[in-house]
Structure 1
Amino acid sequence: MQLNNNVAEFILLGLTQDPIRKKVVFVTFLLLYLGTLLGNMLIIITIKTSPALGSPVYFFVFHLSLSDTCFSTCIAPRMIADVLLKNATISFNECMTQVFTSHFFGCLEIFILVLMAVDCYVANCKALHYRTMMSHQVCGVLVAVAWVGSIVHSSAKVFLALSLPFCGPNVIDPYFCDLKPLLKLACTDTYVTNLLLVSNSGAICTVSSVMLMSSYIVVLHYLRNHNTEGRKKALSTCASHIIMAILFFGPCIFMYTRPATTFSKDKMIAVFYTIGTPLFNPLIYILRNAEVKNAIKMLWSKKLISDDKR
C-alpha cells in the first residue's frame, strides 16, 4: 500500500512559529513532561514496593500510570525536540509508528479506566463477592484483554493510515501524527475512512464513557446505605476516578466523535489530553488518596534509614 505514496516524510507545524514563543513552549513542556515522568514513576515504584497497596484497584492504577507514562513518551519528547528546529519533519514510517503507539496507549488507558470503574462497582455493590470476582487471576486476565484490545484498535488505525495514498502536500498542522490530520493530506476521497475512524475511536470513547459514568452513578446511589466512615472513603475513591475519567474522556470524545473538520481549539485540546492528562492523573491520585500518600512516606522513610546505615 505504501507504494502508492509519493510522500517520504511529513512536515510538523508545531504549536507556534514564533522564536520567542518556541523557547517558552520548550521550557514549559519539558517541565510538564519531567513532572509526568516523576509523578507516574513515583506511583509505579510505590505500588510495586508497598505491600499495603496490593488490592486490585492499585493493580489497575499501576497499569494506568504505566500507560500514562508511555502515552506521553510517544508524543512529548519529539514535540519538545522539534520546537528547537526551524523545520520539524517526521518520516513516513516514524509517523505510522507514532499513530500506532499513541492510539495503543491511549486506548489502553480507556480500558484501564473502565476496569477501575468495574472494580469500584464490585467493591461497593458486591462487597461479599469482591475477593472472588476481583481476584488477582481475574484482574490479570482483564488487563491482558485490555492490552490485546488496544493492539487490535491501534492496528486498525495503522491499517487505515496505510490504505491512504499521499501525493502532497505533506504539512501536518498539529505537532504529532494522528489519523485525522492525515485524512486531510490523502489524495483520495476519505469519507468512508472518516466514518470508520469515528465508528472506531468515537465508539470506544463514547461507549466506554457511558459505561464508566453509569457504573459510578449506581455506586453513588448504593452508597446512600453505607455508614458515614465507609461512605466517605468510597466517595473519595470514586471522586478520584471520576475526575480522571472526565479529564481524559472529555477531550477524547471531542476529538474523535466528529467529522474531519478543524476548530481553533483543536491544538489546545490535543495538548491537554496528550500532555496534561498524563500529568494530572498521578497528582490527583497522590493528593486525594491517603493510602498512596502513606505508602510514599513509608517508602521514603525506608530509603532514608537505609542511606543512614550506609
Structure 2
Amino acid sequence: MEVMLTVDGLEKSFKDKQALKGISFEVRKGEIMAILGPNGAGKSTTIRNIMGIMYPDKGSITFHNHQGKEIPRHKIGYLPEERGLYKNVKVMDILLYLADLKDYPLDKAKERILTYLKKFDLEGKEKVSMDELSKGMGQKVQFIGSILHEPELLILDEPFSGLDPVSQELFKDEIRNLANNGTAILLSSHQMNLVEEMCDRLFMIQNGQKVIYGTLDEVKTKYANFKCTIRGKNNVRDLEKISHVQRVEVKEESAVLYLDQDVHPTNWLQNLPDYLNVSELKMNRISLHEIFIDIATNKNLIQEAGDINA
C-alpha cells in the first residue's frame, strides 16, 4: 500500500520540556490510522508539525516526496479539535472561503457544499450564520470544510466531539467512504470504542514517545488477553485459585477474571470448577479502552506478548 505521509525521528522541545522524542510512523493511502495518547502526550504537537503550524527541531515529515515548507498543504484536509470558523459568516460563504484557500474551483465547491449539506441533514442552512447553529451542526460544517477540496491526506482531531449518535454514524460512514476511495486518514480521538471500530492501524504516544504502533490485530495479539465476566455470588479467593487467572475485579455480584496470554477460551471454560455460582457468563477480549487506560496511567496490569513494529 502506497505511503502518503512519513514522520521520521520527530523531535520538538518548548523551553526546557521535550514534547516529542524521536517518534516515527507512516500513514498509507486508503487507511484510517489512529494517533492516540492521553492529554499532553504530544499528539497535538505532532499534528501541528505535520500541518506546518510549527516545525520540528529534528527529524522529517515527508508527504508526496516533499518535506517541510515544500509540502503541498492544499492536498491536506484538517479538522482541528477547537472550533475555528467565523461566527458571523454564513455557512456557504465560510465554506467557499475555505475552498478558495485550497485553490479549489469555486463552482465545483458550491455543488459539493450543497451535496454535503444535504447528506449531513443541513439542507437549507447555507444562508444561516455560523453563530445560529448548534455545536453539532457547527462540527458538521467544519468537517465539510476539511474534506471539500478532496484532500489526499485528511487529519481529524476529535471529529466526533459534540455529535449525537445519529451524526456520529454519518461521520463514520463518510470517513470510511473517503478511505475506500483512497484518502489517507490520520484520526485522533479519545473515544476508544470508535477508534477500535474504525481504524486499521494505531500509533499511541506517551510522554512524547511511541508506546504502541501496529495494526489493530497486532495490538490485540500483544495486549488484549481474554477476560471472563461471571455474574453470581462467588468468593474472590475461589476465583483467584482458578488456573490461568491473572487478577480478579469484583463489582457487587459480578466478577471480571483477567486471563493469561495464550489461553484457549473453550478449554478454559470447560475446566471451570463446579462450585462456581454462575447466573450469567461472558467471554471476550480486553477492549482498546482498557489497554489505553492501563498504558496511560502506568498501571502495567495487562500482560504483554512480544514487541510490535509496523
Give me the TM-score of the superposition, normalised by structure 2: 0.24
Give me the TM-score of the superposition, normalised by structure 1: 0.24
* Greater helix proportion: 1
